[in-house]
Structure 1
Amino acid sequence: MKPSPYPLERELEMRYYADDYPGIGGVLRTTPEDFVVDEIPIDFTGSGPYLICKVTRRSWEHQHAIHEISKRLGISRKRIGWAGTKDRNAVASHYISLYKIDAEAVDRVSLKDITIEPIGQHQFGLGLGDLKGNRFAITIRGCQEENLGFIPGISETVHHGIPNYFGLQRFGAQKPVTHTVGLSILKGGYKEAVDLYIGEAFPNESDEVKEARRAFVSTGDAREALHALPVRLGFERAMLDHLSKHQDDYEGALRTLPPKLLSMFVSAWQSYLFNAALSERFDRGLSLDEPEAGDTLIYTNGRSDRVTEKNLPIARHHLKRGRAVIAAFVPGSSSLQSPGPMEECMIRRSEEAGVDPSAFRDAAAFVGCAFDGASRAIALKTEIASEITGDAVILRFSLPPGQYATSVCREFMKGDPLTLV
């Protein structure tokens, strides 16, 4: 394991790489075509009230794309479902479900850099996780040519497993405050959540926008901030518009955001806890396939087992053979009866921040989404196909739902995290 030297990664608890190879450097997303992701869909039923459409978009943020599609169709966003969000600065194909919408209405929708192709019917609306995985073709440009010879070694590392961190974009690729907004919501600090979301500036924003954000936090003048912020900052403007009409109603301002975006704030805090527990595991000198008593093993057939001092040698054997992976349960509204070391770390971190299971239940009532918690493998493993052209490298690979392509690229590049966004 090699520690990351970058403050932003340490802040988000992405503190280790899986190997000691020098990175190849470079930059992602010189153009959107450098980051191509295709969703691998589930099997659809062929009939039912939901129209399934394949959406291909270029340089569109997910929530804004959904908003525009709903507006063009003249329907509520609640009638649109999707299996997973995709990167903004990319060419991304994914699937959406539309409740009781016919294909002819979709064919009439015209949006720049978005195509929507009806492909069939489904009995159910799509929800997060309703996909088999994603395929990626990613070009890293401007690499350090003297380090390109390490690509086979790094590819072997990824094959055996790298930290399955929640990637930078989970916390906001340009402005990584999603988890802190979620923490404020969990603590009932709605004003603080609004101030963070509206008031924290993007590093690459114009000075005028940065000043407008700072002025809002300083003065609380929603009307002035609404006048100063550009139209493209639609979510911030929606909150400011509400506050300009309903002074100090910060809870109501948050409710102007799409429910799924609100839920992402809270789940980002859970993601931060997982990253922290995984990094603390490495602090203890454990590798991704070195179990300790209290760990949960997930076998390839879906069966799970708890590691004890007695079965520790057998657990090591199964992990070395690739028959199982170590997983940790990310806490939420349910109290864990017998937490393992990683769960204990997450619970401790959350309690130190003033959050307990009841806070997740309160947030669930506010957002309208359950935060029960879920198990997550601590290792990401995949086969890499690589191609080198001058100082550019193309990586092709597939990942299951919930795993981050940028985590794979990070292991190869080992550079400033802002080169990944």
Structure 2
Amino acid sequence: MIPDLDSKIGISVYSTKFDGIGGKIRTTPEDFEVSEKILEKTLNSINQEEGYAVYKLKKKRIDTNHALSDIFRKKGLRLKSLGLKDASAITEQFVCSGNKGKSIEDYSTEKYSLKKIGFVKKPLSKKDMIGNHFKIKISDCTNKLSSFEEFNNVLNFYGYQRFGSKRPVTHLIGKAILQRDFDKAVELVLSFTSDYDSKENNEIRQKLVDKQNYNQYFEKIPKQMDIERIVLKEMIEHDDAFRAIRAIPVSLRRFYIQAYQSFIFNKSLSTAFTDGENMFESESGDVCFDFNGIIGKFVKGLDQKLAIPFVGYSYYKKTRFDYHISQIMQQEEITPKDFFIKEMQEVSSEGGFRQAAIDCSDYSSRDDVVEFTLSRGSFATILLREIMKPSDPIYAGF
């Protein structure tokens, strides 16, 4: 049985035949360790002379964005990360200064530590990152972890975090923006409720369904609902939904669009797999990534990884997956050109390609602990979903 939450984010299949061991992850942050891996060449280019300062950021109980904004607030140093790491784990990642010469000595708080490891000639970017290594303890599970062997046959779905986990709404907001329905987008930001959200949050959201309550409830919105406060303030002052959505930071508005693209991607993978398409081997006519991550056509005899279109305004139709993708877009009442948003061009997206299967290496397990490395952009929770087959992903710690 596929959990209801999975269906909501476009996942309607399991890739493996494994029965699942059940259990829970993230019982404590120490149960979930993540360390970032960067290219050997990049690692060797870090020197002790001058340039852009590079640091190792170790953290727990705080996500990357909040840690970096705390460093900026306390130390005046603006740092960029190569990827985002969430709060409910112990994580280690590289962060880099955007300004030459400006650096600080090691610094730590109870939630994170920042250690300078040297300088690089040009700032690090996502291209320098290979992936992440995970070490995860699965509590309260059966003792069959050692019999899971299908780690190279897992579809590369976008994980729960991409959609808001406990409150899977990000893709719905993205769709409303694409359909230029800004009233609907405001309504979703403020009043979309979820069974997994807290009773207090849901009660406030239910009140915000009615515009008459906006003024009265503004002060009652908890501090952590910062986006809701931004949108509500604009609605109270100007009663203009377009203006209220545009007040949301651009990075988050882009994330909403990407979340909707991720939903279509998940649905495309699910339906193509159900229809019997081979998702783990590329064939003639396919678009593929080579071992350097460069996109191109299938060439017999080369080591290539199958790629699936990620829909945007430059959607590439000439693949064996167009039938599935076009049908999904028809059901969703969306077209590729909707991804060019004339009214809000800064969040337009041309789309691209994403690997069909997870690239997993260094896999090992012992007792109730599993370790593996995933390439950049793949989700550990999607591999764990195949190992655990949880009936309730949120209860299981996803």
TM-score range, shorter chain: 0.7 to 0.9
Three-state SS of the structure 2 residue aligned to 1:162 is coil
Tell me the TM-score normalized by structure 1: 0.83
* Equivalent residue letter for 1:411: E
Matches within 5 A, 1:4-403: 4-42=1-39, 43=42, 44=45, 46=47, 50-74=52-76, 79-100=78-99, 102-104=102-104, 107=106, 111-145=109-143, 148=144, 151-154=145-148, 156-158=149-151, 160-219=152-211, 221-244=213-236, 246-289=237-280, 294-300=285-291, 306=297, 323-336=303-316, 338-362=317-341, 366=344, 368=346, 371-383=349-361, 384-388=363-367, 393-403=368-378
Q: What SS does the corresponding residue of 2:171 show, helix, strand or coil?
A: helix
For the Cα contact (< 8 Å) 1:209–1:228, is it kept in 2?
no
| Cα displacement (A) at 1:132 | 1.6
**Amino acid aligned to 1:97:** C
Distance across 2 between alignment mates of 1:222 and 1:122 = 49
Distance, in Å, in 2 between the alignment partners of 1:258 and 1:240 is 14
The CA distance in 2 between the partners of 1:301 and 1:234, in whole Å, is 40
- Alpha-carbon distance, 1:128 to partner: 4.4
SS of the residue 1:179 aligns to: helix
Q: Which amino acid aligns with 1:52?
A: V
Go from structure 1 to structure 2 and tell me whether the alpha carbon gap of 1:57 and 1:301 turns closer, same or farther (over 3 Å shift): closer
Q: CA deviation at 1:73?
A: 3.6
CA distance 1:249–1:122, change in 2 (3 Å):
farther
Q: Which runs of 5+ in 2 are unaligned?
A: none
1:65-88 deviation digits (Å, cap 9, x = unpaired)? 33333333447xxx5422111122
Q: Which amino acid aligns with 1:375?
A: F
d(CA) in 2 for partners of 1:186, 1:7 = 25
**Hey, which of these two has a bigger chunk of helix by percent?**
1
SS at match of 2:360: coil
Q: CA RMSD in A?
A: 2.8
Cα distance in 2 between the residues matched to 1:348 and 1:71: 48
Question: 1:125 offset after TM fit, Å?
Answer: 4.1
Query: Given residue 398 of structure 1, which amino acid in structure 2 is its aligned partner?
Result: T
Cα deviations by residue, 1:319-363 (Å, 9 ceiling, x for unpaired):
xxx933221121212142x42132443344234434333322217
Aligned twin of 1:409: 384
Query: Is residue 161–residue 381 contact of structure 1 (8 Å, CA) maintained in 2?
Result: no
The sequence identity of aligned pairs, in percent, is: 27
Q: Taking structure 1 as reference, are residues 89 and 220 closer, same or farther at Cα in structure 2, changes over 3 Å only?
A: farther
Give the C-alpha shift of residue 204 in structure 1: 4.2
CA shift in 2, pair 1:351/1:123, >3 Å: farther
Partner of 1:311: none
Separation in structure 1 between the aligned mates of residue 203 and residue 221 of structure 2, nearest angstrom: 10
Letter in 2 for 1:283: T
Report deviation, 1:21: 2.0
The 1-side partners of 2:381 and 2:9 are apart by 14
Cα 1:190/1:331, change in 2 over 3 Å? same
C-alpha distance in structure 2 between counterparts of 1:119 and 1:369, whole Å: 35
User: 1:225: Cα distance to partner?
Assistant: 2.9
User: What is the rounded CA distance, in whole Å, between the counterparts of 2:292 and 2:37 in structure 1?
Assistant: 21
Taking the aligned partners of 2:208 and 2:350, their CA distance within structure 1 comes to 35
Q: AA paired with 2:23? A: G
C-alpha deviation, 1:405, in angstroms: 0.7
Q: For the structure 1 residues 252 and 121, does the alpha-carbon distance in structure 2 shift closer, same or farther, using more than 3 Å as the test?
A: farther
Distance 2:15 2:52 in 1: 43
Q: 1:127 to 1:347 in 2, by over 3 A?
A: farther
Gaps of 5+ in 1: 308-313
For the residue of structure 1 that corresponds to 2:370, the secondary structure is strand
Q: Does the CA-based 8 Å contact 1:129-1:401 persist in structure 2?
A: no
- For the 8 Å contact 2:309–2:315, the answer to whether it is kept is no
Q: Distance in 1 between matches of 2:109 and 2:215?
A: 30
Bigger shift: residues 270-279 or 343-352: 343-352
